Structure 1
Amino acid sequence: MKKCLRRNPKSSLEIKFENLIKQIGLPYKFVGNGEVIVARKVPDFVHKNKKIAVEVYYRKHKEMFRNGLEVWKADRIKIFNQEGWKIIFFDETQVNENTVKSVLGN
């Protein structure tokens, strides 16, 4: 099953987010390659020591697919919470040093 969940290389937004967390020194790593699967869902990033998942996304893309952005987010929250995970979302306007630091920096 893992093989079918693997996908193409990182998106430009995932690369930008990954560079930010490395620059800031936050304990998160990219797992959007299928390294971590939570209830058949593949998060983009996870905390290295806690059950915290991070999704980065383009709003326009999510509005076009998956029944819209709010439905996608609500489904993800429900699924991850049922498995004991916290999930945090960043859209393209939030992937910047100040926002990432303020949300994940503690």
Structure 2
Amino acid sequence: MSLDDLEDDVGAAYADLEETDFDLDRETRQELAMLVAALDPDEPDELVRRAVHMLFESTVQSGKLDFHLRSEYGVTYDEYLSGMTFDEMTGAAGGAGVGPEENENRRYQY
């Protein structure tokens, strides 16, 4: 294979991406076409799925997801996954109107 072959494959992939179910700007379409030519997936959709997974993973690992979730919703991703806030996990939330006997009875409920 040669540079001309790569240019042809990228051009063909770029043309195929004109018919996607989602809108892509020119730069994104060009980058996706290059990836399609280089990685040769069964469908370009597979690369989009991978890209979403990679973006999600990097956003989680960098703490950006928690930052945005905390800013918008007041919780972190771990709290979302567990279904309870950190204060609820540690018992710091207390709970208005819940007496010590009720806390004792609820201690081992999950």
Q: TM-score range by the shorter chain?
A: under 0.3
The structure carrying a bigger helix percent of its residues is: 2
TM-score by length of 2: 0.22
TM-score by length of 1: 0.22
Greater RCO structure (CA 8 Å; 6+ sep): 1
The structure carrying a bigger strand percent of its residues is: 1
